[in-house]
């Protein structure tokens, strides 16, 4: 194999740049040319491809995001779109492809593999929702970002005697909520993998208040439902002022942790 391509696809994750760097450096040191594909499968279909060298990946190991940029591509889900991608791979002489991303990205990589393209997937998603891997690139950084936010919200929550619901990413995987809740000392953790009883949560909050507890933190995975409706219901049932914080895309940003850099 003389030429490979590398792309990042789907939601970005801290550590993707470290993974790109590792792919490019390893390939070049083994005499293989690397073509960088801009904006994931969109770039593959449209031919937005350029050769990468060692300078392309200099000084990026500490940077969040992805220098190759990323996107979601509806066209690639069609047979016509995938045929375009296969044609572009042939035009650029790309014999193998490295895909860095999550489950949707891997589904696309699998389609190319079935079409005869040698394909490798590198798990890169903050959600940590891929099978056959303990940790995905980006999860640890996102977890630490969330944990820092939990500590700050706890400060203001204690000052006002409130309950705080903190919604985190993860879609239908509760790992971010679970790990950050355990590490942050949350009073309740609500994840899609387990059924939850709102009355039990409210009872626990009232018991805490009665014994002098100043505040409570409830970690919520985004796949559960509407955080604001949940907060309203808790406040009505307990009489405890309840605020909601949706951390959102801040979880995807920032310099990757040492763990994510080494994992990449």
Question: Would residue 124 be called left, alpha or beta, if left means φ above 0 and alpha means ψ between -120 and 50 degrees?
Answer: beta
Q: Which of 157, 227, 170, 160 is nearest to 198 (CA)?
A: 227
DSSP collapsed to 3 states, 185-228 = CCCEEECCCCCCCHHHHHHHHHHHHHCCCCCEEEEEEHHHCCHH
CA 36, distance to chain mean position in Å, is: 21
Note if 127 is an active site residue: yes
Q: Which of 12, 38, 53, 127 is catalytic?
A: 127
Q: Beta-carbon neighbour count of residue 64 at 10 Å? A: 19
- CA torsion angle for 136, 218, 151, 260 (degrees, to 10)? 0
DSSP collapsed to 3 states, 58-95 = CCCCCCCCCCCCCCCCCHHHCHHHHHHHHHHHHHCCCC
Burial 89-101 (b: 16+ CB within 10 A, else e): beebebbbbbbbb
How many whole angstroms separate alpha carbon 160 and alpha carbon 129? 35
> Catalytic residue numbers?
127
């Amino acid at each position: 194999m003389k030429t490979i391509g590398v792309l990042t696809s789907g939601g970005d994750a801290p550590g993707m740049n470290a993974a790109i760097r590792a792919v490019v450096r390893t390939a070049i040191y083994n005499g293989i040319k690397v073509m960088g594909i801009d904006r994931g499968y969109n770039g593959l279909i449209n031919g937005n491809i350029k050769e990468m060298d060692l300078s392309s990946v200099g000084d990026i190991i500490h940077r969040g995001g992805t220098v190759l940029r990323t996107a979601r591509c509806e066209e690639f889900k069609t047979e016509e779109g995938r045929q375009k991608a296969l044609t572009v791979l042939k035009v650029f002489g790309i014999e193998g492809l490295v895909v860095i991303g999550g489950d949707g990205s891997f589904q696309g990589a699998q389609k190319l593999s079935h079409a005869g393209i040698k394909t490798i997937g590198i798990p890169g998603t903050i959600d940590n929702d891929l099978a056959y891997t303990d940790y995905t690139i980006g999860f640890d950084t996102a977890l630490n970002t969330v944990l820092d936010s939990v500590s700050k919200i706890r400060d203001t929550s204690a000052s006002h005697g409130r309950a705080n619901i903190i919604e985190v990413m993860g879609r239908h995987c509760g790992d971010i909520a679970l790990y950050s809740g355990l590490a942050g000392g949350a009073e309740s953790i609500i994840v899609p993998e387990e059924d939850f009883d709102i009355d039990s949560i409210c009872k626990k909050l009232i018991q805490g208040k009665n014994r002098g507890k100043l505040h409570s933190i409830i970690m919520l995975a985004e796949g559960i439902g509407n955080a604001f409706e949940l907060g309203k219901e808790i406040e009505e049932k307990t009489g405890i002022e309840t605020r909601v914080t949706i951390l959102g895309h801040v979880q995807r940003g920032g310099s990757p942790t040492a763990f994510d850099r080494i994992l990449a």
